[in-house]
Amino acid sequence: MNILVVGKGGREHALAWKLAQSPRVDKLYVAPGNPGIATLAECVDIRVDTPVSDRDKLTGEIDRLIEFAKDQRIDLTVVGPDDALAGGIVDRFQASGLKIFGPTEAAAQIESSKAFAKELMERIGVPTARHRSFTDADAACAYIRAQGAPIVVKASGLAAGKGAFVCHDETEALSTAREMLEEGTFGGAGSEIVIEDYMVGEEASLFALCDGEHYVTLVPAQDHKAIYEGDRGPNTGGMGSYAPAPVMTPELVQEAEDRIIRPVLDEMRRMGIPYKGVLYCGLMFTEEGPKVVEFNARFGDPECQILMPLLTSDLVDVLEAACDGRLHEIEIQNSDAAAVCVVMASEGYPGSYEKGFAIDGLQAFADRDDIVIFHAGTAHRDGRFFTDSGRVLCVTAIADDIESAVDKAYAAIDGITYDNVYFRRDIAHRALRRKD
């Protein structure tokens, strides 16, 4: 088979790494890819990571990718980024007779419009925080004053994982709402906002691979979005992750499947927009049970970087079955091991930062089975890798348990150096506290 992966970050590196292990793969392409991905696949300079707000440019890049897929006789395309999904890449590929894994533009609204997702959950009784959606700043502020703080303010559209704000006082919430609706801090993504109750509990993520009717779930995971240790500071695209997440017992996984995943798939099929692809369920485990924080329409990043090493099934078989509506014929297999990913970033991220610093030490892990270095934002020239983004490397360690995987990940980081490096030193702290 010839397979094409769409995207350029650590998530897509993890997908390409896993797909490359399949004996069914003859040729693997990634568009646009990155220097780390280039060690195991052919990178194609077509950039479908264009923001969905730039619809004309995104459409043009999708056109180029369709022509490439036809020319190279691509048998399966796997989409990583949310913007491409929200921009209708799946619809366009399917209309061209090309097999592609991911939800259609209409189905991807479950991520691209938090207002859509909230209305859907409210209609079918899926547990989530009480909420209201607003396009008018004065109305939003009146609601905030009536509800008080703490309260959560979210951009309804796609904001690269950075559009949700937990506001601990009313003044902060009011200014956040006005900045989004009046000052356009998130552009079109913040032209509508969702204001919801602050939920108390522990967060975790459950990923379901869906074929429109059936689904299979992967190992429960937990990520760390805040930039600073102790889960403080502004949200990022993700500073680390681990799996399995002990907060999600088998009984709670089953409850989440019964009360959330199954009803959502049934309702979307009833609406005429069957959901095929990854349904990322961001959950809060409250005293009343699991509640949805948000849905995403693709693999998480950096969760994908731990889920792929723990998946023992052939990913090609699973994704092909999802595209063909045959997931009920698949018995997915996951390792009993644990995986931890620590993101090495650039000092200053998620704000301004410098890039272009040489990275040393990567070669030591080239042949390791228990340490995998996924590239998130690197450049390559003159035989060396350099920092090229806010998130630079994703250091993933696999071991028998979380504690051992944490130790391995940080030992590996000690062997990788570049100027202006920053990383959190407390990844998996919740899981480790449960052992004490």
pLDDT category, 160, cuts 50, 70, 90?
confident
What is the Cα–Cα distance from 1 to 12, expressed in whole angstroms?
Answer: 18
**Looking at the predicted structure, is the pLDDT value of residue 417 above 90?**
yes
Q: What is the mean pLDDT of residues 227-247?
A: 95
Coil/strand/helix, residue 357: coil
Task: For the chain, give the mean pLDDT.
Answer: 95
**Looking at the predicted structure, is the pLDDT value of residue 393 above 70?**
yes
- Percentage of the chain lying above the pLDDT 90 cut: 92
What is the Cα–Cα distance from 117 to 131, expressed in whole angstroms?
Answer: 11
pLDDT at position 161 is: 72
Give, in degrees to the nearest 5, the angle at Cα 367 between 366 and 370: 100
3-state helix, strand, coil in the chain (%, to 5): 35, 30, 35
Angle 10-19/315-324 helices, nearest 10 degrees?
100
Across the strands, what pairs with 397? 340, 371
What is the Cα–Cα distance from 93 to 77, expressed in whole angstroms?
Answer: 9
What is the Cα–Cα distance from 136 to 113, expressed in whole angstroms?
Answer: 17
Place of tokens 């490397």: 393
Coil/strand/helix, residue 109: helix
Q: How many CB atoms lie within 10 A of CB 178?
A: 15
CB 38 within 8 A of CB 17: no
Place of tokens 């000690």: 414
CATH of 338-435, one of 1.10.287.3510, 3.90.600.10, 3.40.50.150, 3.40.50.2000: 3.90.600.10
Q: How many CB atoms lie within 10 A of CB 176?
A: 24
pLDDT at position 172 is: 95
Across the strands, what pairs with 223? 241
Sequence ranges of the domains in the chain: 2-102, 130-197, 202-329, 338-435
Coil/strand/helix, residue 53: coil
Q: In this structure, are strands 164-167 and 151-155 parallel, antiparallel, or unpaired?
A: antiparallel
- Percentage of the chain lying above the pLDDT 70 cut: 100
Place of tokens 């680390």: 240
Give the model confidence (pLDDT) of 325-383 as tens digits.
Answer: 999 999 999 999 999 999 999 999 999 999 999 999 999 998 899 999 999 999 999 99
CATH topology of domain 130-197: Dna Ligase; domain 1 (3.30.1490)
Q: Which helix (H) or strand (E) holds 29?
A: strand 27-32
Across the strands, what pairs with 2? 27
Q: What is the pTM of this model?
A: 0.94
Question: How close are the terminal C-alpha atoms of the chain, in Å?
Answer: 48
Ramachandran area for residue 277 (φ above 0: left; ψ -120 to 50: alpha; else beta): left
Q: What is the mean pLDDT of residues 90-109?
A: 98
Q: Which helix (H) or strand (E) holds 387?
A: strand 384-387
pLDDT at position 262 is: 98
CB 10 within 8 A of CB 375: yes
What is the Cα–Cα distance from 320 to 242, expressed in whole angstroms?
Answer: 27
Q: Which of 293, 272, 300, 261 is nearest to 106 (CA)?
A: 272
CATH of 2-102, one of 3.40.50.20, 2.60.40.10, 3.30.429.10, 3.40.120.10: 3.40.50.20
Q: Which helix (H) or strand (E) holds 391?
A: strand 391-399
CATH architecture for residues 202-329: 2-Layer Sandwich (3.30)
Return all residues near 145 (Cβ < 8 A) that are at least 6 apart. 170, 174
Is the sign of the CA dihedral 352, 356, 357, 361 positive or negative? positive
pLDDT at position 48 is: 85
pLDDT at position 436 is: 60
pLDDT category, 51, cuts 50, 70, 90?
confident
Give the model confidence (pLDDT) of 277-288 as tens digits.
Answer: 999 999 999 998
